[in-house]
Chains A and B, each alone.
Chain A
Amino acid sequence: MSRNDNIAYVRTDMLPEAAPPPGTAGLGKWLRENLFAGPFNTAMTILAIYVVWSILSSSVPWMYNGIWNASSLSECREIRDARGLESAACWAVINERWLQMLFGFYPTDNPLLARLFYADELEAAGGAEVVFGGGITVTQRVAFISAMKDDLNNSTLFFFGYWRPLAALALLVVAVAPVLYSNLPRALLVFSLAYPFIAFFLLWGGSVWLPVLVALGLVATVLAGRFAAGFIGSLGGFFVGLIVFLLFFMNPLGIDGLFPLLPKLRGMLDGAMPWGLPYISSENFGGFMLAIIIGTSGIVLSLPLGIALALGRQSNMPLIKWVCVSFIEVIRGVPLIVWLFTASTLLNYFLPPGTTFDLLLRVIIMVTLFASAYLAEVVRGGLAALPTGQYEAASSLGLDYWKSMRLIILPQALKISIPGIVNTFIGLFKDTTLVVFIGLRDPLGLTNAIRATSEWNGIYWELYIFVGALFFVFCFFMSRYSMYLERRLRTDHR
């Protein structure tokens, strides 16, 4: 550029940045673009503000002014009138009954509580063996325990009375963490595998040797199978594993004597080292604990079953395909409540005469089967979404069916179906409330039980909000986790 001297003035420095015109930046711009863009949008905003205001203006004071200390609904109302309040929540019912809502009628571990907090009273009554060992009459024992419970506050009871379910829950978090977050050490997965047995022992109690021996039996099955597979091929290894399993858990030959090994070993060990916790039957389980037990077992068990069903449905063996399709369609076509009803009333007809087993176990099996049919459809969607080239590529590398599934197909198909899988899990967890219809004490069933007492007759909102909030927290966590997982596993370039 040549210098032109005719120009009177040449600016040599940059102008400072001018502030944007008013209304095109900051809060004003945001408001205009997001809330008041055009008359229709403004009308919508005003309507939304009105709706939000009318909900919050009635519910927030009601919650905030809630009464936390009262022993009955009528007392709540008296306090409310005394304070001159229009409406007030009666949170006192939660304050009084939250332990029951969480644990149902799970017995608190009374000997522990007595030893910790009432050592003197326990000595005066004759010591733990006398009070809890059946030495004195039932009435006296009940009197001691109920006096103790009345004296303790809910928080003490929570931490020391329910230490078994609480420990199971805490260990659940430890067991689940390495599965959910891959940056944790992989060695923790061993604990995840052992967790079901630990949880069983903590929740049900009884002899420690039953869960230990079942775990050992399964480990022995797998190890024997692996070991034999090294010599005689994978099919032979499978049969060796099967034989070990049968010898350990069943009596395939019908010979009385040494087999099955499990009860024999258990008898020996119980005789030598009678360790254990007091047995608690699952009739006493209830509350949110029940929802977590059914939900977690259902989730853990239904995933492998669902994947197997999805693969079966894609199989090119007509019989396997036909069986899987009819299983999936029949399970999905009928509501869960009918299946639960089947589990509670009809299952005994289908089992060998004289077999009875726990209602909770039956419910877990039914819920697992139900969720696995839904999962199978979700996973099938993922399998169908993979391009055929992936299957062909796996075959051309010389991988056999199981290897190509394990290494090529399923990792991709499962990644695609993560949102659907997690939605199924959320649905399963929410559906655990349906067990109320077959007489298990789930949180909603307990709200009915609480309302049936004369103190809390006519209380609805507080209980429903409490139960709803508990479920919301769990389900919301699951849905956020699935979003996180999708982000983390995303490998395409966006």
Chain B
Amino acid sequence: MADISDQPRQNFRIGMLLYDARYRSLTIQVIAAILIMLFLVRLVDNTVTNLAAVGKDIRFNFLWSTAGYDINQQLIPFTSQDTHARAALVGILNTLLVAFLGCILATVIGVFAGVLRLSKNWLVARVMTVYVECMRNTPLLIWILIVFAVMTEATPQPAQFREGGTASMILWDSVAISNRGVFMPRPIWGDGAGIVMAILGLSIIGIFVLRYVARKRQEDTGQQLPVLPLSLALLILPVTLAFFALGRPIDLDYPVLGGFNFQGGLQVRNSFIALWLALSLYTSAFIAEIVRSGILAVSKGQTEAAFALGMQPNRTMQLIILPQALRVIVPPLISQFLNLTKNSSLALAVGYMDARSTLGGITVNQTGRELEGILLLGIFYLITSLIISSAMNFYNSGVKLKER
């Protein structure tokens, strides 16, 4: 193929479309394009014909009609008088909430499990191996159903939290785990609460600045600042001072048993807890394997080299092992986040009102607009996935080894 330029220029013949490598790929692509076009035209034609046969068309105006159903967990106000579009938004927010919290918990458990699997302690390593294998080799749906069964069957009824009942609230009488859900204190934002939260935000930014300054100082002079105590002080002191100076603007509304159920406080439904815990536990097993393989992927010579330079074990971990391990860990980790987000659509099994249950479930059933509903649902998941995976590609290109 490379010596084509040496040959005398041939006149084009029709057979060259098939037998000449220069033209063949063009031929194949033209044929493929024709076939794909035919396929798509056929698909659209079939769809239009079939929809017309049952008296339907493709319109999205159903989104602006009254939803007429209630959603039991809402991050933004919603009543049954609101539109289907708003119901879909509530569902989308619920999906994002459980996915976000799930990613955090799964990472925490997964890193723990992955590191502990590499532990020199025989028993701990075995226990973690059993955990990881059990989680990885059974369907997620079973775990969701099991956690849900635990939450609804093995926890006490609210009535048992009465005086002389069998159950009691935990964490200084503030949190009640019952079969109606977990009840916990709800913060009440008073005057000046915004200022306290703003100070908290400024403190967090201050910690990042502090870390930057400390690192700069170490690189320039070799002196180290006590970053951890300073950060903790920065995190706690200003907020506490502001909290008391402004006269305790944030109060807590505790759940109190009244009638057959708890009143006040924040009710976290069992469906949410079951989905969140099961997703996190299941995904954490995969993350544990990723973390383990990431740490194993850093060759032992790196540790030995760091020790030879006189580094302490924890500095070795922080400065030598982790940066290299992270390059291996992060891409599959993010694809696990992606999986968790998509798996949150199993919310259907426990009645958690996510995007699949509102937009792709009740709305579709009520309006009979399957095509539009599922299309919108698919687009939502697709956009979420593309955002997460482009973040991954951005990170990847940043930490990639620069080779030839």
Q: A and B, one complex?
A: yes
Interface residues of A, Cβ cutoff 8 Å to B = 33-35, 37, 41, 44-45, 48-49, 51-52, 235, 316-320, 323, 329-330, 332-338, 341-342, 345-346, 348-353, 395, 426, 430-431, 433-434, 436-437, 444, 458, 460-461, 464, 467-468, 471-472, 475-476, 479
Interface, chain B (partner A; CB < 8 A): 1, 18, 25, 28-29, 32-33, 36, 42-43, 46-47, 49-51, 53, 119-124, 127, 133-134, 136-142, 145-146, 149, 153, 342-343, 345-346, 348-349, 356, 360, 370-371, 374, 377-378, 381-382, 384-386
Contact between chains at B348 and A437 (CB < 8 Å): yes
Q: A37-B120, A44-B119, A471-B142 are in contact. Are A348 and B50 (CB under 8 A)?
A: yes
What is the distance, in angstroms, from A318's C-beta to the closest C-beta of chain B? Answer: 8
Check A45–B123 contact: CB distance below 8 A: yes
Given contacts A349-B47, A464-B146, A475-B138, contact A338 B29 (CB under 8 A): no
B342's partner among A323, A334, A346 (CB-CB below 8 A) is: A334
Contact A338 to B142, CB < 8 A, known contacts A35-B123, A346-B371, A350-B47: no
Q: Contact: B145 with A353, CB < 8 Å?
A: no
Which residues of chain A have C-beta atoms less than 8 A from B146's C-beta? Answer: 460-461, 464
Q: A51 and B127 in contact (CB under 8 A), knowing A41-B120, A333-B386, A342-B374?
A: yes
A436–B142 Cα distance when bound, in Å, is 12
**Nearest CB of chain A from residue B327's CB, rounded to whole Å:** 15
From the candidates B1, B28, B141, name the one contacting A433 in the complex (CB within 8 A): B141
In the complex, the chain B residue whose C-beta lies closest to that of A427 is B339
* Docked-complex contact B32 and A319, CB < 8 angstroms: yes
Tell whether, in the assembled complex, residue B381 and residue A334 are in contact, meaning their CB atoms are under 8 Å apart. Answer: yes
Give the residue of A332, A336, A437, A471 whose beta carbon is less than 8 angstroms from that of B138. A471
Given contacts A316-B25, A353-B46, contact A338 B374 (CB under 8 A): yes
Q: Within the complex, which residue of B121, B141, B360 is in contact with A41, where a contact is CB–CB below 8 Å?
A: B121
- Contact check, A464 vs B137: say whether CB atoms are below 8 A apart: no
A330 to B375, CA, bound (A): 12
3 smallest A-B Cβ distances: which pairs?
A333-B385, A475-B137, A34-B122
- Tell me which residues across on chain B come within 8 A of A467, comparing CB atoms: 142
Q: What residues on B are CB-neighbors of A437 within 8 Å? A: 348-349
A475 to B50, CA, bound (A): 41
Residue of A nearest to B364 (CB): A345
A476 and B133 CA atoms in complex are apart in Å by 8
Whether the pair B124, A320 counts as a contact (CB closer than 8 A) is: no
Q: Name the A residues within 8 Å of B377 (CB-CB).
A: 338
Q: How many A-B residue pairs have CB under 8 A?
A: 149
Other A-B contacts than A316-B25, A333-B382, 12 sampled, CB-CB below 8 A, are A37-B120, A48-B121, A320-B28, A333-B384, A334-B382, A336-B342, A342-B374, A349-B51, A461-B149, A471-B139, A476-B133, A479-B137
On whether the beta carbons of A431 and B32 are closer than 8 Å, the reply is no
Whether the Cβ atoms of B122 and A349 lie closer than 8 Å is: no
Q: Is the CB of A337 within 8 A of B345?
A: yes
Q: Which of B25, B43, B120, B356 contacts A317, CB < 8 Å? A: B25
**Could you jot down 28 A-B contacts, CB within 8 Å?**
A35-B121, A37-B121, A41-B121, A44-B124, A45-B124, A48-B121, A48-B123, A48-B127, A52-B127, A317-B29, A319-B29, A320-B29, A320-B32, A329-B385, A334-B382, A335-B356, A336-B342, A337-B345, A430-B137, A430-B139, A433-B139, A444-B145, A460-B145, A461-B146, A461-B149, A471-B139, A472-B137, A476-B137
Task: Summarize A's interface: helix, strand, loop or mixed.
Answer: helix
Query: Which residues of B lie under 8 Å from residue A433 when comparing CB positions?
Result: 139, 141-142
Q: Which residue of B lies closest to A52 (CB)?
A: B127
Closest approach, in angstroms, between the C-beta of A119 and any C-beta of chain B?
A: 44
Interface core residue of B133, B145, B348 (most chain A CB under 10 Å): B145
Q: Select from chain B the residue with minimum beta-carbon distance to A377.
A: B335
A338 touches B345 (CB 8 A): yes
In the complex, the chain B residue whose C-beta lies closest to that of A476 is: B137
Closest B-chain residue to A345, C-beta based? B370
Q: For residue B342, which residue of chain A has the nearest CB? A: A335
A residues near B139, Cβ cutoff 8 Å: 430-431, 433, 444, 468, 471
A41 to B125, CA, bound (A): 12
Q: B374 to A34, Cβ gap below 8 A?
A: no
Bound-state Cα–Cα, A317 to B18, Å: 15
Which among A319, A329, A395, A464 is the interface contact of B145 at CB below 8 angstroms? A464
In whole angstroms, how far apart are the Cα atoms of A395 and B50 in the complex? 50
A398 to chain B, nearest CB (A): 10
Which of A334, A431, A436, A458 gathers most chain B CB within 10 Å? A334
Determine the residue in chain B with the shortest Cβ distance to A467.
B142
CB distance from A61 to the nearest CB of B (A): 17
Please report the C-alpha to C-alpha distance between residue A334 and residue B47 in the assembled complex, in whole angstroms.
21
Q: Provide the residues of chain B in CB contact with A336, threshold 8 Å.
A: 342
- Given the known inter-chain contacts A332-B385, A430-B139, please indicate yes or no for A337 contacting B346, CB distance below 8 A: yes
Closest approach, in angstroms, between the C-beta of B329 and any C-beta of chain A?
Answer: 16
Give the docked Cα–Cα distance between A104 and B370 (Å): 29
List A contacts of B119 (CB < 8 A): 44
Shortest Cβ gap from A492 to chain B (Å)? 15
Cβ contacts under 8 Å, B50 to chain A: 348-351, 353
A476: B residues at CB distance < 8 A = 133, 137
Which chain A positions have C-beta within 8 A of B43?
350
Pick from B32, B33, B121, B381: contact of A44, CB under 8 Å: B121
Q: Contact between B141 and A426 (Cβ–Cβ < 8 Å)?
A: no
User: Assuming the A-B contacts A332-B385, A335-B342, are A444 and B53 also in contact, with contact meaning beta carbons closer than 8 angstroms in the complex?
Assistant: no
| Chain A residues closer than 8 Å to B346, beta-carbon distance | 337, 434
**Chain A residues with CB under 8 A of B356:** 335, 337-338
Q: In the complex, which of the residues B121, B142, B349, B374 contacts A341, with contact meaning CB atoms closer than 8 Å?
A: B374
User: With a CB–CB cut-off of 8 A, which chain B residues contact A338?
Assistant: 345, 356, 360, 374, 377-378, 381
Would A335 and B343 count as touching, CB distance under 8 A?
Answer: yes
B32 CB contacts on chain A under 8 angstroms: 319-320, 323
Name which residue of chain B comes closest to A396, CB basis: B2
Do residues B141 and A329 form an inter-chain contact, with CB atoms below 8 A?
Answer: no
Q: In angstroms, how far is the closest chain B Cβ from the Cβ of A487?
A: 17
**Smallest beta-carbon distance A314→chain B, Å:** 14
With contacts A35-B122, A333-B381 taken as known, whether A472 is within 8 angstroms of B138 at the C-beta atoms is yes
Q: Are B138 and A468 in contact (CB under 8 A)?
A: yes
How long is the Cα–Cα vector from A329 to B201 in the complex, in angstroms? 37
CA distance A241 to B127 in the complex (A): 57
Looking across the interface, which residue of chain B has its beta carbon closest to that of A468? Answer: B138
Which one of B36, B138, B342 has the greatest number of beta carbons of chain A within 10 Å?
Answer: B138
A319, B26: Cα distance in complex, Å: 10
Residue of A at shortest CB range from B128? A48
- Nearest residue, chain A, Cβ from B127: A48
Separation of A337 and B343 alpha carbons in the complex (Å):
9
A45 to B36, CA, bound (A): 62
B348 touches A337 (CB 8 A): yes
Q: What B residues does A468 contact at CB under 8 A?
A: 138-139, 142
Name which residue of chain B comes closest to A475, CB basis. Answer: B137
User: Which B residues lie within 8 Å of A335 (CB)?
Assistant: 342-343, 345, 356, 381
Say how far A167's CB is from chain B's closest CB, in angstroms.
Answer: 27
Name the distance in Å between A292's Cβ and chain B's nearest Cβ: 14
Interface centre among B28, B33, B121, B136 (most CB of A within 10 A): B121
- Tell me how far the C-beta of B334 lies from the nearest C-beta in chain A, rounded to whole angstroms: 13
